[in-house]
Amino acid sequence: MKAAYIHIPFCEHICYYCDFNKFLLNGQPVDEYIDMLLKEMKMKISNAPKTELSTIFVGGGTPTALNEGQLQKLLEGIRAILPYNGEGEFTFEANPGETSEEKLKLLFDYGVNRLSFGVQSFNDRLLEKIGRSHRVKDVFSTLNKAQKVGFENISIDLMFGLPTQTIEDFQETLNIAMSLQLPHYSSYSLIIEPKTIFYHLMNKGKLPLPTEEVEADMYQLLMMEMDKHGLNQYEISNFALPGYESQHNLIYWNNEEYFGFGAGAHGYENGIRVANYGAVKKYINMLKDHALPILEQHVETKSEKMEEEMFLGLRKNEGVSISHFREKFHEDIIKLFASSIQEMERRGLLERHGDFIRLTREGRFLGNEVFEAFLLE
């Protein structure tokens, strides 16, 4: 186990597209939640005495929605309980405009060394349309504060395929994003998920989305702009200067194991996929009763592990290592997936490059279709 994901499910506002496990902050038992979150960490770590973590990622929700006292309690607990020596990657998600200089200094003082800001767009009209509470000026202000405190490893998220968004809108957002000269950018197309505000609007015919062709043009533009500015596309949606790739996310894409702490958190522990209860009160009450808040566990079969090795590994631009696959599963990837590989190569979506099988540039546009081809019967 090399990594830990910690979930803070509280937000000051709910974005229209978000389907993560989250709750409006007001009226929530936040202090009690933090107590039980730290208790869950202690319980799991006591059962894994030889564990050493190389990455910690605190996500949400909005982790920085916590007040300074709550944030300090969480940070103190993380550093006291988790077997992390402070030399790896320690990431916090944050929202522009909701993160004070005092909170940023607190994060920095407790060893957080990477920040991921949910910017989404540099267009105030679009930010309002997707339910974001910040505006463009807040992004500049928050980034200035973070850099003043001492943060260098900063990433921002951008979205495309938004309602009424044009290719010109996205070009403007990319121009501004590139002017910031940050070491890491993530950019995702909008996916309409059930139980979101956008899902209900779409069902009523009230969500004017760009066409698939325009969305593909936006993705093409994204890749061109990132490449032009020296940012390496190391995964379908992620771009970085050399040495600034997200080490935590690479653990997911390399299909390695990790702890999941918090309400609704998922983990992969000792070959078992684990999901916690999402409801905050259920999560708290189970831990009060000294029980781990596990909703479901799934022991993975060898076939499932091999499928996931392909789904996840093909997200990376380097692809899946043939030799590593053989070493890990004692199977020949070329024989095991012969028909799928041949078909995807014939269509120009997959290629072999030395020891790796990887998506072609064209394949990145149809990634999900390629991944499905590697489902074993």
> Do residues 293 and 275 touch, judged by C-beta distance below 8 A?
no
pLDDT digits (tens, 9 = 90+) for 260-313: 999 999 999 999 999 999 999 999 999 999 999 999 999 999 999 999 999 999
Share of the chain above pLDDT 90, in %: 91
Residue 355: per-residue pLDDT: 97
113 DSSP 8-state letter:
-
End-to-end Cα, the chain, rounded Å: 29
CA distance 91 to 71: 14
Distance CA 360, CA 189 (A): 19
> Is pLDDT at 68 greater than 70 in this prediction?
yes
E strand or H helix that includes residue 308:
helix 302-313
Query: Global pTM?
Result: 0.96
Residue 134: name the closest of 33, 25, 247, 15 by CA.
15
pLDDT at 188: 96
Per-residue pLDDT tens over the stretch 315-358:
999 999 999 999 999 999 999 999 999 999 999 999 999 999 99
What pLDDT is recorded for position 1?
53
As given in the structure block, the two tokens for residue 188 are 């995702």
Rounded mean pLDDT, 201-205: 91
For residue 243, the one-letter residue type is G
Residues with Cβ within 8 Å of 350's Cβ and at least 6 positions away in sequence, in order, are 341, 344, 357, 358, 359, 360, 363, 370
Please check whether residue 276 is in contact with residue 260, taking contact to mean a CB–CB distance below 8 angstroms.
yes
Residue 377 has pLDDT above 70, yes or no: no
Closest to 44 (Cα-Cα) out of 88, 1, 86: 1
The Cα–Cα gap between 42 and 124 comes to: 43
Structural domains in the chain, CATH included, are 3-253 (3.20.20.70), 302-372 (1.10.10.920)
Q: What are the two backbone dihedrals, phi and then psi, of residue 7, each rounded to the nearest 5 degrees?
A: -105, 125
- For the chain, how many residues are written? 377
Q: In angstroms, rounded to a whole number, what is the distance separating the alpha carbons of residues 116 and 6?
A: 14
Residues 6+ apart with CB under 8 A from 127: 120, 121, 134, 135, 136
Q: How far apart are CA 270 and CA 267, in angstroms?
A: 10
pLDDT digits (tens, 9 = 90+) for 19-30: 888 888 999 999
3-state secondary structure at position 95: coil
